[in-house]
Structure 1
Amino acid sequence: MFMDKTNKVHHKLSHDILDGMADWVRVIDKNGMVIYENQTMKNEIGFDSLGKSCYFSLGSSCTCKKCITETTFATGATSEKEQTIGNRVFSIKSSPVKDSDGDIYAVVEVFRDVTRERNLEREVLKRNKMMNKDLKYSRAIQKKILPTRGNYGSVSIDYIYSPSEVLSGDMFDVFKIDDRYTGIYISDVVGHGVTASILTIFVRQTMRAIMDMTTKPSKVLSELHKSFLDLNFDDDKYFTIIYGVLDNKEKTFTYANAGHNSMPLFINKEGIHILENSGYPICYLFDKIEYEEKTINVEKDNKILFYTDGIIELRNRFGEEFGIDRLQKSIEDKKCNIIESIQHAMDEFHYDVPQDDIALLQVSIN
């Protein structure tokens, strides 16, 4: 008597648990007939489907294209699929029900409503598609504002430009100040992506706005720092820049460095020389910064190579960096095309997608 009573309690408890579940639960026999369904499923489909075919209760007039119940009967393994029922999407899992001999005599199916998750996924995909479209458009604009390869009066330029992401934090520019002076800079914004790319636009527009104020690079960088402070960005936003002015009359190049650790290379008939200089980056740590200028003499066919640290820090499969020595070695033969030689050296050295933006600007004195 006690065992019978206990079994009845357990049986009722099992039904109460199943009926209390938010998921639909039903059991299908070998003939494809419904032999049990929980109360949640009965309430939501609106009728009792006991004794009816498994597909009838799902509003279908024929068997499913992918019947996971048949798969479970045939293999004895759990099977899963997703199916749209009405205006809802369900994740359905079928599991075997075995007798004391281990033979499968039924399959239990659990239906979990995943409509909200799938709607959210579709919305995310839609937004991502729109965002990717915007990013591609922004990248096209960023590339469009790069200086055109070719002659700029007293100089001619060529370059390598390769963002590590869709948008880059590296930017360079060459502009004619007047018939005598030409301004040249390269900058590297901390980070990558949208924020970094917006800062590159700020650098470009600000440099072009203040370049007529003075031909002294140190003064221009100080004014650039002032303009940056007005943006009120977070303290972790900053950038480095080297700016120089070519005096076509005096045949000199005067430059100042705002924290840029990739020193330009000056190439003349004597060899390759590093144009060392130092200075603080454009950041919020200082209210006012003064920069030091240095000047070199230049002649026709001399070259100045500006670059960002993405080239120097490029790594091979052994974790070795490309480094300044490899960069110099790749351009030692001054008779060859320097840009092609550097690109070839980088392609031969690294084995994976670069982790940082790469920018290199070659300025040739005409």
Structure 2
Amino acid sequence: MLLLAFLICFSFCNSQQIIHLNSLKGYNFKNPINSKPPYSVYISANRDSDDILSQVYIKSESGSLQNLLYLKNSSKNSNSNLLAATEIQENSFLISKLTDYQLYSLTGFLYITNSSQADDKKFQVYDVNQQFAISTEANKDHTLVFLNSKSQNHSSTISSWLQSPSCLVSMYQGFPQEDQKENLVIFSNPAPFFTQPLFIPHVEKFEVNFEIFHFKTSGSMKFDISPEPFNFDGYKTTAYRTTGFYMKSQYDNTNRTATVSCLRDTSYNGTTGLLIGASRVRPYSTVRFDFDDGPHYILDLGIRGINIEKIPKSLEISTNGTEDGEVYVQYLIWQDQLIPSTLAPTTTMLPETTTKGCLGIFGGGILMIIVLFNFLVIF
């Protein structure tokens, strides 16, 4: 009983939550919304029947009713995919006379956050149901939250990235946690590939598979986002100094292999870098990287990192033991100096460790490991 009371109190005090519509009970059951009012509600239900949504209500203790179809239509911004929040001022619950089976057919969800956050103009929530452009202003901080119920695997493809060198960008899985330590970075620019964060002038097209994810930005940047899938396997990078992102999603329950071809000039030396994260994977899960000329590196939780002083023609990424989990890889291709003579690259394997890894970050079931490939030093 004490544990149940604690969980109820924790849920009630934690104003942010996701409510999946297919988890609701029908037959006029009062499904609680465990957030302390006032709070704000956003809805993403792009594949759901208008008829069913019109028969699911948010009902307050005083008896006022709002159906979810009304919320969906009223939250749309005519000029963009920016969503307007629906504010709830008193304790409320979700109710429907429909059957459990009818509600179970729903695929959308509600995102609930506190009203003060929703009233902050720097906090913006978008529904990824078509292609649209995102831009942020210089000298201002922004939190950009993206909801995606358009497809079963929640594909969001990001392209045409432009970023000011003074802008800081970080991408996170899920909604923004009130405790910043719980917001674990899975992609960033500048990124910690070396001792100091490195600004990468070019970002490749990439896809994520999240029903909700967010960016924190400081400064001016732009990109396009679309609900269409993107096939990373066979992709070719488009700049000599660039970064990109690969994700093995939980919706892909195979240990598939993906290959990226790297634009390079063999007259120059350079670096290939990787930042690796994982969520909901088994302790013995591994990620394998194969260079086209033969070397391969298998990384598990005991390997702190490796140093490879070269840029391959192609890089193959595969996973093992990650069928029900997620793997995130931010890769770096960094061309450096003209090679004055032919020198063979060297490889350094760093020792195994039982510590938390290079960043010392573990949280929310996600492990972040940094794999660094340093510059070739010519003596």
Task: Name the TM-score, length of structure 2 as normaliser.
Answer: 0.22
Indicate the structure with greater helix content.
1
In our comparison, the structure showing a higher alpha carbon Rg is 1
Task: Name the TM-score, length of structure 1 as normaliser.
Answer: 0.22
